[in-house]
Amino acid sequence: MKCIRPEISVGEDSISSSTGFTLDRVFSTVDNKSKVLASRRGQAPFPSGAAHRSVRVGSQVVIPSDTRINFKHSAHSRVRPVQTLADTLEKYQRLAREQQDFNNSVLRREIRSGWISYRDVCAKSQRRTPQHLGRFAIRRQLSTESGVYEYFAVDEPPCQMEVLLREFPYDPALPAGELDRYIQEVARETRVLMRVRHPSVACVVGHFQTGASWVQVSDWFEGERLENLWSVLAGASVWEKMGIFAKTIQALEFCHEKGVLHRNLGAKAIRVSQDLSEIRLTGFDCALDPGSTLSTSTLQARRDPRSVAPEDLASGKSSNPRLSDIFQAGLLLYRLLENGNWPFADTLDYVTSGGALRPFSQTPADLGTEILQRTALQMMDLDPRRRPDLLRKVEFTLEQALAEMTT
């Protein structure tokens, strides 16, 4: 199929457009391909029953319906190896009416299944079916959020490694420039995470493209989003809750040491194991990446308005993005102490109210809890300069608080 307009001249083994574009050896090339395919058609995975043994494979060059055709070779004028799309559809509709086998739904289904299998075997890395994504077999779909699909999948034998796939679909017909910009944007998180290797950070191990999507491949972690676990955490001890928080700030601190600023930290970005002992920090799609530009409006639209740092409202860009992460970590600490409740409706209300927060639901019964509550408030201070910096200070304070609870 060739999109050539407005007029073509068909030679013995070439096609030339009125604008000067030429396709050489076009008929000999497709005829050779049709002969190879005719012999291949008799082998697996194509059906081999009696009704499928008479195989005819021909070739046809198809051009837009409004393109004018001038045949310069008399033999081509009779057999018409080049036809418009409209004439081609009419040709095959006529053949379908004349051949009774085309009315047999069983035969149609068998041959279609053969073609699908043939396609998948020839291009495993580009498969996109309900059962497979690339070379990975899909076990179950996990979620769909903002047009991004997540799957639990297994690599092909002999490895059969369990992985998390995040698929970002796109329109294959996008102009090359738009498609490149889209791929660059959705690959932000992968570029960031491939620079970070930490036990509590989601580890990206690769990526690939299908014909209509870009896919990120990560190690599988059997965990649930923290945002979905507040009912479970309501019955958990403060030690278990602070264990989650400690591992989160350790992972975040490591990212800061590597020059990676998260900027979208929250309960949705943390996966927690069933026994609450392990976490994985995820959600780096808004991370500060020196190799890319993420507009202020795009960044704000992606984040929960309750998790945006106050300084980001004023300029959209903090002079010290590390302090924005510390604000979001303080917000996480508050919610862990309050079983998921938020301290304010959104950051704008927090700022316009002069820093008014929903008070803690319980008066601290011990010095350790008092230290934790005070630390959360310090980390969420309206003035970034008054927040504890670096996270190592927060980690030290957390250890002090837990020590007080044991004495």
Which amino acid makes up residue 68?
Answer: R
Q: Which of 318, 335, 174 is nearest to 269 (CA)?
A: 335
Is the model more confident about 54 or about 97? 97
Residue 279: pLDDT band by 50, 70, 90 thresholds?
very high
Cβ burial 178-207 (10 Å sphere, 16+ → b, else e): eeeeeeebbbbbbbbbeebebebbbebeeb
Give the whole-angstrom CA distance, residue 18 versus residue 12.
17
The pLDDT of residue 312: 85
User: In this structure, are residues 233 and 340 in contact, taking their beta carbons and an 8 Å threshold?
Assistant: yes
- The per-residue pLDDT for 144 is 78
- Is residue 175's pLDDT more than 90? no
Count other Cβ atoms within 10 Å, centred on residue 396: 11
**Residue 306: which of 275, 343, 338, 359 has the closest Cα?**
343
- In CATH terms, the fold of domain 225-406 is Transferase(Phosphotransferase); domain 1 (1.10.510)
The pLDDT of residue 116 is 79
Domain boundaries, the chain: 7-114, 125-219, 225-406
Q: Looking at residues 31-44, what average pLDDT do you find?
A: 90
Give the mean model confidence (pLDDT) for residues 25-42: 92
Tokens coding 57: 């494979």
Burial status of residue 236 (CB atoms within 10 A of its CB: 0-12, 13-18, 19 or more)? middle
Say if residue 292's pLDDT is above 70: no
Mean per-residue pLDDT over the chain, rounded: 89
Residue 306 and residue 303: Cα distance in Å, rounded?
Answer: 8
| CATH of region 125-219, choose from 3.30.470.30, 3.20.20.70, 3.30.200.20, 3.40.50.1980 | 3.30.200.20
pTM across the whole model: 0.70
Mean pLDDT of 302-314: 86
pLDDT value for 139: 95
Mean pLDDT for 142-170 is 90
Express each pLDDT in 63-74 by its tens digit. 999 999 999 999
Instruction: Please report the DSSP string for 178-206 in residue order.
Output: HHHHHHHHHTHHHHHHTT---TTBPPEEE
Give the pLDDT confidence score for residue 387 in this predicted structure. Answer: 95
Residue type, 92: Y
Please give the Cα distance from 387 to 378 (Å, whole number).
5
In Å, how far from its chain's centre is CA 282? Answer: 13
% the chain with pLDDT above 90: 61
Distances (CA, A) of 27 to 34, 36, 80: 10, 14, 11
pLDDT score of 57 more than 90? no
Residue 289 has a pLDDT of 60
Mean pLDDT over residues 223-251, rounded?
96
At residue 301, does pLDDT exceed 80? no
Amino acid at 245: F
